[in-house]
């Protein structure tokens, strides 16, 4: 027969992929160098859809890269730098072996270095692309900046990471970009909004920890190398958008001479600027003094029927955000020694507050403990014997919870020595029908503007103030009020709680959109509801078989959710009751 | 050169006036004059004409004067051509010498008006300058490199950026702009991982960790169960072993009898088989052919009728088509959702499978203080890179001790010469 025979594995997906070892040989690099190159350039291995075809009939698990990607890598100029470095290492080793110290010095002076600027410009053509990858970069830099400087890691990398992270934190403070905080057992999660992009990163706690052995350290170091370069570029650009000087300088107030002497005690001159910057307590110097313009009014579009709601919603959101940014404005905080200083200083300053700490702790303390204008003092130990009147003593969790709740929570729950309410995660958004813990419900109520009234009055007026009573009962300070009052409250609120739970259940099963509000047993509202239910039952009866089947399925799913939510609510009730019983016993013991 | 050639020929002749020793052939001269005028020859002839030659010699003279005497002699001032001779030796010396320049310099300076050719800057190599190195080629550059404006010294990386601007195939391909996985970069720990969690959330997280542990324990138990040595009561006894060995052997007698009657039945039926197909007759062939034709005709008629009827069934057909399209669309949708779900899962990239990290949770007893952070963020980040298909899962390279093979020959086998 004429023509060329078609052989297997000569075209198609078999020729589009290349194994890792073949790619390495094509590039003439060692495995470590190849890995480093792939990480820096952002070339990742691919899993082909039909592994057998690509592997030419065998099913051995191999790592495949796209052939076009490897061909693209061939044109990369830093590949030559890698080879130069290999040669340099060989020469250095020889010189060391022969004890030719002059050669060693000369070689070390001419060590080949490479820069990653062109790779970053190529990988992130626009600034927004770089912001999208900032999550990873920030987490790695924060992680490396907390490493101990033992020499296992390059000390320059650790210092560089520290400097970059401090610059970024200062930017967030200056632009009031922080939105959410979550303290977890792993570390602290922050969410900020930079130029419209939400960025989430994790900061480890300052305590040192053992290094895990199953982590490939060189790979992480390569990632960090790339991310430090990226973060440097991003910092520069961000500072430009705010007209701040980069590299950052602190704003110098008029009287600086006296302070300079004190600062010598904290750090060397060369490092003092970085240390002051990392204290996060002073504001940054600007390039151009900003001319205070009037606030620009947002454009008002003619209200359309459909968009009216959307527009309203957006406008409200914007206002709420503006309010959120000024949460701690006008307040002065003083941090005690035992609280986590960096995290609190960062958060307080990001929302407009002023913060200071004891002089002997760290550089950058702006005012002393005895200042009369301090509004809040953050403590974690029991109260000092002589509390200064005019300032609130709170535990650090008040700051975090206020930030997440977007308003200044009542301080009574956070007094020193009080059992704190749980610290909920702001990253969890509950859907309809899911179980909402009562703490969250309380928070939502607070956000909607219902102020928590105090215990005594609410007994008589049941319906409208049910929520406040709940709060009054939950708050239960150790200091506590009248015993009788408390008992009465407890009984009353128990009944109310049961009623509430029942209504919640009923609401969830019947209404199509169950709202997360406390139910009200209002007789005025029962008639129209009953009418609605009747109409619904009629509609269900007149459905076709097919539709009814679907409807049953949906309702089954919904009911199951509701059942689970109720189970959890019951559990919670049991737990609360157990607590109450304990407290009762304690009080009885005290009385007796 | 035409002028030079002509000069050679006319050596000794008064060629200027046209008297030559060579006999002039008037016919030849006329022919030469009449020759083609627009070719090279025509121009060459012009140069050999008396006027052309005159012009040529004049220009040569001018060039000679410029080269040697520094300009036309007719234009030089008197002082450069003549010297004053008063008869007095000392007076003459004083008048005529040029005190400004030293004699050696005057001797060495060139008098020609024609400037020497200079190297253009484009011809320079890297590191050279138009001024040249001050101490010649062996000396070091005393001053930093002079970069004239037209010189472009491009090193590797800038060259690469420049080139990739002009050659689009060297730019980063579009497919690399997408991330390898849609999973978020930093996954926040669920609410039960808070340092002061609510009761429910903490219980939920503990339950999850508990489930994972249960699974692991189950797997271990299964393995140990399968590999366990049988206990005394389950161990095989002699009788059971014998029984096992005898299985299948005792059923032979029952097997034989049912086989025999079947064989006889077959033999009978063999004799009574009807006669095989005989040759078909013509009639039969004709009939079969007609039957086939009729069948085909009927089938064609039926098909035509059906097609006619389909016009009236349009609505039904449309419904059928719509249903089929809807089915295909549903399947496409399901496949797309499946692919999206796959996007967030970790891919199998190498020999090892991705192992999800343990859930970080602190027991209720450990929740009291913030002192001991759980888990390591370094490991968390490493696993996150693996989950997002950025690096392949790897295990630590184990140190395998390889002993050198020592070859020893037995004494009894040693050969003695």
Same-domain check for residues A27 and A107: no
pLDDT tens string B272-289: 555 566 677 899 999 999
Contact A212 B376 (CB under 8 A): yes
Residue A491 has pLDDT above 50, yes or no: no
The answer to whether residues B403 and A239 touch, using CB atoms and an 8 Å cutoff, is no
CATH number at residue A351: 3.40.50.10190
Name every chain B residue with its beta carbon within 8 A of the beta carbon of A223. 385
Contact A75 B170 (CB under 8 A): yes
- Band of pLDDT at residue A475, cut at 50, 70 and 90: very low
pLDDT tens string A341-366: 889 999 999 999 999 988 888 887 88
Here the ipTM equals: 0.74
Residue B15 has pLDDT above 70, yes or no: no
B100 vs B181, more confident: B181
Q: Does B391 touch chain A (CB under 8 A)?
A: yes
pLDDT tens string B285-330: 999 999 999 999 999 999 999 999 988 889 999 999 999 999 999 9
Report the gap between the CA of A462 and the closest CA in chain B (Å). Answer: 28
- Band of pLDDT at residue A1, cut at 50, 70 and 90: low
Name every chain B residue with its beta carbon within 8 A of the beta carbon of A425. 188-191, 193-194, 201
Check residue B141 and give its pLDDT.
44
Same-domain check for residues A25 and A57: yes
Q: Residue A373 domain-assigned?
A: yes
Contact B395 A214 (CB under 8 A): yes
* Signed CA dihedral, A65, A113, A123, A247: sign only: positive
Return the number of CB contacts < 8 Å for A and B. Answer: 174
Lowest mean pLDDT among A106-115, A252-261, B79-88, B357-366: A252-261
Of B194, B374, B378, the CB nearest to A212: B378
- Which residue of chain A has the CA closest to B361? A185
Lowest mean pLDDT among A170-184, A241-255, A449-463: A449-463
Question: How many domains does chain A contain in total?
Answer: 5
Report the gap between the CA of B118 and the closest CA in chain A (Å). Answer: 37
Tokens of A55: 């592997």
- Name B143's Cβ contacts closer than 8 Å, sequence gap at least 6: none
Report the gap between the CA of B140 and the closest CA in chain A (Å). Answer: 19
Contact A44 B379 (CB under 8 A): no
- Which residue of chain B has the CA closest to A439? B198
Contact B391 A47 (CB under 8 A): no
Same-domain check for residues A125 and A274: yes
Same-domain check for residues A129 and A183: yes
Report the gap between the CA of A43 and the closest CA in chain B (Å). Answer: 8
Name every chain B residue with its beta carbon within 8 A of the beta carbon of A207. 371-373
- Band of pLDDT at residue A214, cut at 50, 70 and 90: confident
Q: DSSP secondary structure string, B268-314? A: HHHHTPPP---PPPHHHHHHHHHHHHHHHHHHHHHHHHHHHHHGGGH
B21 vs A331, more confident: A331
Q: Residue A184 domain-assigned?
A: yes
Name every chain A residue with its beta carbon within 8 A of the beta carbon of B349. 45, 47, 63
Check residue A230 and give its pLDDT.
96
Q: Residue A3 domain-assigned?
A: no
- Which residue of chain A has the CA closest to B398? A214
pLDDT tens string B194-248: 888 888 889 999 999 999 999 999 999 999 999 988 887 878 888 989 998 988 8
Same-domain check for residues A48 and A143: no
Domain ranges (residues) in chain B? 191-228
pLDDT tens string A226-239: 999 999 999 999 99
- Band of pLDDT at residue A296, cut at 50, 70 and 90: low
Name every chain B residue with its beta carbon within 8 A of the beta carbon of A123. 172
Same-domain check for residues A275 and A365: no
Contact A212 B196 (CB under 8 A): no
**Angle, helices A31-41/A78-98, rounded to nearest 10 degrees:** 140
Contact B373 A424 (CB under 8 A): no
- Which residue of chain B has the CA closest to A64? B349
Check residue A501 and give its pLDDT.
66
Share of chain A above pLDDT 90, in %: 36
Q: Residue A508 domain-assigned?
A: no
Residue A315 has pLDDT above 70, yes or no: yes
Check residue B143 and give its pLDDT.
45
Cα separation of A33 and A47, whole Å?
22
Task: Measure CA A265 to chain center.
Answer: 35
* Cα–Cα nearest to A228, from A144, A122, A155, A125: A144
Phi/psi of residue A218, each to 5°? -65, -40
Long-range CB pairs of A535-539, under 8 A, 24+ apart, other chains included: A536/A510
Same-domain check for residues A33 and A47: yes
Share of chain A above pLDDT 70, in %: 78
CA count, 13 A, side-chain hemisphere, B60: 11
Check residue A505 and give its pLDDT.
61
Report the gap between the CA of B219 and the closest CA in chain A (Å). Answer: 23
pLDDT tens string A375-416: 999 988 877 767 778 888 899 999 999 999 988 888 888 888
Name every chain B residue with its beta carbon within 8 A of the beta carbon of A50. none
pLDDT tens string A86-139: 999 999 999 999 999 999 999 999 999 999 999 999 999 999 999 999 999 999
Contact B392 A63 (CB under 8 A): yes
pLDDT tens string B106-120: 778 877 888 877 776
Cα separation of B285 and B293, whole Å?
12
User: Helix H segments across A51-115?
Assistant: 51-54, 67-73, 78-98, 101-109
Of A61, A68, A129, the CB nearest to B351: A61
Task: Write out the residue range of the structural domain in which residue A46 sits.
Answer: 13-75
Q: Which of B166, B171, B177, B185 is best to mutate for the A interface (most A CBs within 10 A)?
A: B185
Residue B99 has pLDDT above 90, yes or no: no
Check residue B118 and give its pLDDT.
77
**For A39-52, what is the mean pLDDT?**
92
Same-domain check for residues A368 and A335: yes
- Band of pLDDT at residue A454, cut at 50, 70 and 90: very low
Contact A568 B171 (CB under 8 A): no
Q: Does B171 touch chain A (CB under 8 A)?
A: yes
Residue B148 has pLDDT above 70, yes or no: no
Contact B371 A69 (CB under 8 A): no
Contact A187 B373 (CB under 8 A): yes
pLDDT tens string A154-177: 889 999 999 999 999 999 999 999
Same-domain check for residues A241 and A121: yes
Rg (CA), chain B: 57
Q: Residue A534 domain-assigned?
A: no
Cα separation of A212 and A220, whole Å?
13
* Cα–Cα nearest to B349, from A212, A45, A439: A45
Report the gap between the CA of B390 and the closest CA in chain A (Å). Answer: 6
Check residue B192 and give its pLDDT.
87
Name every chain A residue with its beta carbon within 8 A of the beta carbon of B381. 136, 139-140, 143, 220
C-alpha distances in Å from residue B404, one per residue of A515, B397, B400, B407, B409: 76, 21, 13, 10, 16
Residue A470 has pLDDT above 70, yes or no: no
* Signed CA dihedral, B372, B373, B378, B380: sign only: positive
Report the gap between the CA of B170 and the closest CA in chain A (Å). Answer: 7
Of A69, A80, A185, the CB nearest to B362: A185
Cα separation of A346 and A277, whole Å?
12
Structure-derived torsion over alpha carbons of residues B233, B236, B238, B243, reported in degrees to the nearest 10: 120
Contact B195 A437 (CB under 8 A): no
Name every chain A residue with its beta carbon within 8 A of the beta carbon of B182. none
B323 vs B72, more confident: B323
pLDDT tens string B121-137: 666 665 566 665 444 44
Contact B194 A182 (CB under 8 A): yes
H or E stretch covering A66: strand A64-66
Check residue A22 and give its pLDDT.
95
Q: How does the average pLDDT of chain A come out, rounded? A: 81
Tokens of A143: 């992680």
Pairing verdict, β A332-335 and A376-378? parallel
Residue B45 has pLDDT above 50, yes or no: yes
Name every chain B residue with its beta carbon within 8 A of the beta carbon of A189. 186, 188-189
Interface of B with A in 197-226 (CB under 8 A): 197-201
Name every chain A residue with its beta carbon within 8 A of the beta carbon of B391. 35, 39, 44, 219
Report the gap between the CA of A19 and the closest CA in chain B (Å). Answer: 10
Report the gap between the CA of B189 and the closest CA in chain A (Å). Answer: 7
Q: Residue A345 domain-assigned?
A: yes
Report the gap between the CA of B292 and the closest CA in chain A (Å). Answer: 39
Residue B140 has pLDDT above 50, yes or no: no
B27 vs B265, more confident: B27
Residue A461 has pLDDT above 60, yes or no: no
Same-domain check for residues A197 and A136: yes
Q: Does B60 touch chain A (CB under 8 A)?
A: no
Rg (CA), chain A: 32
- pTM assigned to the model: 0.65
Angle at B231 between CA B226 and CA B232, to 5 degrees: 155
- Which residue of chain B has the CA closest to A571? B200
Q: How does the average pLDDT of chain B come out, rounded? A: 78
């Amino acid at each position: 027969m004429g023509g060329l025979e078609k052989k297997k594995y000569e075209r198609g997906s078999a020729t589009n992929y290349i194994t890792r070892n073949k790619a390495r040989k094509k590039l003439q690099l060692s495995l470590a160098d190849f890995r480093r190159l792939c990480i820096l350039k952002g070339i990742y291995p691919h899993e082909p859809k039909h592994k057998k075809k690509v592997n030419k009939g065998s099913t051995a698990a191999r790592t495949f890269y796209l052939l076009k990607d490897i061909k693209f890598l061939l044109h990369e100029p830093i590949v030559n730098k890698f080879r130069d470095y290999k040669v340099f290492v060989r020469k250095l080793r020889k010189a060391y072996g022969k004890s030719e110290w002059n050669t060693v010095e000369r070689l070390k002076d001419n060590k080949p270095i490479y820069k990653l600027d062109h790779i970053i410009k190529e990988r992130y053509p626009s600034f927004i692309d770089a912001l999208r990858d900032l999550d990873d970069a920030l987490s790695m830099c924060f992680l490396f900046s907390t490493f101990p400087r033992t020499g296992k890691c390059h000390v320059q990398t650790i210092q560089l990471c520290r400097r970059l992270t401090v610059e970024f934190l200062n930017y967030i403070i200056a632009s009031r970009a922080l939105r959410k905080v979550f303290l977890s057992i792993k570390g602290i999660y922050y969410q900020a909004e930079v130029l419209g992009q939400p960025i989430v990163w994790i900061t480890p706690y300052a305590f040192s920890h053992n290094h895990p052995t199953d982590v490939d350290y060189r790979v992480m170091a390569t990632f960090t190398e790339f991310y430090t370069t990226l973060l440097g570029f991003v910092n520069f650009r961000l500072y430009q958008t705010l007209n701040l000087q980069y590299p950052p300088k602190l704003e110098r107030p008029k009287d600086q001479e006296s302070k300079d002497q004190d600062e010598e005690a904290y750090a060397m001159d060369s490092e003092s600027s970085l240390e002051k910057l990392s204290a996060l307590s002073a504001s940054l110097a600007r390039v151009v003094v900003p001319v205070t313009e009037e606030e620009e009014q947002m454009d008002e579009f003619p209200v359309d029927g459909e968009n009216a709601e959307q527009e309203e919603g957006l406008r409200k959101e914007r206002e709420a955000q503006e309010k959120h940014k000024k949460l701690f404005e006008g307040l002065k905080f003083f941090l005690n020694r035992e609280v986590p200083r960096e995290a609190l200083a960062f958060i307080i300053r990001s929302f407009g507050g002023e913060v200071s700490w004891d002089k002997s702790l760290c550089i950058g303390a702006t005012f002393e403990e005895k200042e009369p204008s301090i509004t809040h003092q953050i403590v974690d130990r029991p109260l000092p014997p002589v509390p200064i009147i005019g300032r609130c003593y709170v535990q650090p969790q008040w700051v975090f919870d206020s930030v997440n709740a977007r308003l200044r929570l009542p301080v009574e729950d956070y007094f020193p020595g009080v059992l704190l309410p749980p610290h909920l995660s702001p990253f969890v958004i509950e859907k309809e029908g899911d179980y909402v813990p009562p703490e969250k419900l309380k928070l939502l109520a607070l956000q909607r503007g219902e102020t928590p009234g105090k215990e005594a009055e609410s007994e008589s007026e049941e319906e409208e103030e049910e929520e406040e009573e709940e709060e009054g009962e939950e708050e239960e300070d150790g200091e506590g009020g009248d015993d009788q009052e408390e008992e009465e409250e407890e009984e009353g609120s128990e009944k109310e709680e049961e009623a509430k739970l029942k209504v919640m259940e009923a609401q969830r099963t019947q209404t199509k959109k169950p709202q997360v509000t406390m139910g009200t047993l209002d007789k005025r509202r029962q008639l129209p509801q009953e009418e609605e239910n009747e109409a619904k039952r009629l509609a269900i009866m007149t459905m076709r078989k097919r539709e009814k089947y679907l409807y049953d399925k949906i309702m089954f799913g919904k009911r199951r959710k509701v059942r689970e939510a109720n189970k959890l609510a019951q559990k919670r009730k049991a737990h609360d009751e157990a607590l109450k019983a304990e407290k009762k016993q304690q009080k009885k013991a005290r009385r007796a | 050169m035409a002028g030079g050639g002509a000069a050679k020929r006319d050596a000794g002749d008064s060629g200027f006036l046209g008297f030559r020793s060579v006999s002039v052939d008037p016919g030849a001269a006329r022919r030469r004059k009449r020759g083609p005028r627009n070719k090279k020859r025509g121009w060459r002839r012009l140069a050999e004409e008396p006027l052309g030659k005159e012009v040529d010699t004049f220009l040569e003279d001018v060039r000679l004067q410029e080269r040697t005497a520094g300009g036309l002699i007719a234009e030089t001032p008197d002082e450069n051509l003549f010297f004053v001779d008063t008869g007095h030796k000392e007076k003459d010396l004083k008048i005529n010498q040029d005190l400004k320049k030293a004699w050696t310099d005057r001797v060495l300076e060139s008098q020609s008006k024609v400037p020497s050719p200079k190297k253009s800057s484009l011809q320079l190599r890297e590191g050279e300058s138009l001024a040249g190195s001050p101490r010649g080629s062996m000396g070091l550059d005393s001053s930093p490199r002079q970069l004239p404006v037209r010189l472009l010294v491009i090193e590797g990386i800038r060259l690469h950026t420049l080139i990739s601007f002009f050659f689009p195939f060297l730019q980063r391909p579009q497919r690399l702009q997408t991330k390898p996985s849609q999973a978020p970069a930093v996954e926040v720990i669920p609410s039960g991982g808070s340092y002061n969690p609510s009761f429910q959330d903490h219980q939920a997280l503990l339950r999850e960790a508990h489930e994972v542990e249960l699974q692991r324990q189950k797997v271990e138990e299964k393995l140990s169960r399968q590999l366990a040595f049988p206990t005394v009561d389950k161990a095989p006894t002699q009788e059971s072993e014998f029984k096992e060995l005898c299985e299948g052997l005792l059923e032979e007698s029952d097997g034989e009898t049912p086989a025999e009657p079947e064989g006889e039945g077959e033999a009978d039926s063999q004799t009574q088989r009807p006669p095989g197909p005989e040759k078909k007759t013509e009639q039969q062939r004709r009939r079969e052919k007609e039957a086939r034709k009729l069948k085909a005709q009927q089938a064609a008629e039926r098909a035509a009728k059906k097609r006619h009827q389909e016009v009236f069934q349009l609505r039904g057909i449309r419904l059928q088509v719509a249903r089929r399209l809807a089915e295909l669309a549903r399947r496409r949708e399901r496949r797309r959702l499946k692919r999206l779900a796959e996007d967030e899962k970790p891919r199998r990239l190498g020999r090892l499978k991705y192992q999800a990290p343990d859930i970080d949770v602190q027991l209720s007893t450990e929740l009291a203080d913030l002192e001991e952070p759980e888990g390591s963020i370094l490991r968390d980040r490493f696993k996150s890179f693996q989950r997002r298909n950025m690096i392949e899962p790897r295990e630590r390279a184990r140190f395998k001790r390889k002993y050198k093979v020592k070859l020893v020959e037995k004494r009894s086998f040693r050969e003695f010469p």
